[in-house]
Amino acid sequence: MEKAIAILKKNNYKVTKQRTDLIEYLSKFTVQYVSINDIASYMRSLYPGMSNNTIYRNLKEFSEIGLVEYQEKDKTLVKYQCDFEHRHHHHFVCKNCGKVTELRACPIEFFTDQLPGYTVEGHAIEVYGLCADCTKKLNSK
């Protein structure tokens, strides 16, 4: 919480009760993603009149300053930043339990070496499969 509040202040965002409550809720999701619908439901349980626009705007701002990470699949999912010191990183996502594990190595050179003359403007890499716990459970059957 303290690091997130410091990042808000450093980026000239007001530290409001709503933002603090949103950060506190999101901080429970460092090893798995949560749907924006679940976030909205939670925030509306605290602030019944809160609009979708307010929720989406705050999440977008949090993403821009590195507090959260997005995953775009069937629906938009959000995860609290797992490592404020290393914003650029990739993930392994368990297809069974949803656990997210940070991968620190970045293989971008492997791809850019195959693209001479191209300008790469960004990338996101996620690896999918079964985490060690789910693999162990599957193999013990």
Amino acid at 39: I
- Residue 90 annotated as part of some ligand binding site: no
> Is there a binding annotation on residue 94?
yes
Is residue 85 annotated as involved in ligand binding? no
> Does 97 show up as a binding residue in the annotation?
yes
Annotated binding-site residue? 109? yes
What are the beta bridge partners of residue 100? 93
Torsion of CA 125, 31, 38, 130, to 10 degrees: 70
Distance CA 69, CA 57 (A): 14
The span from the CA of 39 to the CA of 82, in Å, is 18
Structure tokens at 93: 């996502």
Q: Which amino acids are annotated as binding site for Zn(2+), given as ranges?
A: 94, 97, 131, 134
Q: Which amino acids are annotated as binding site, given as ranges?
A: 88, 94, 97, 109, 123, 131, 134
Q: Which amino acids are annotated as binding site for Fe cation, given as ranges?
A: 88, 109, 123
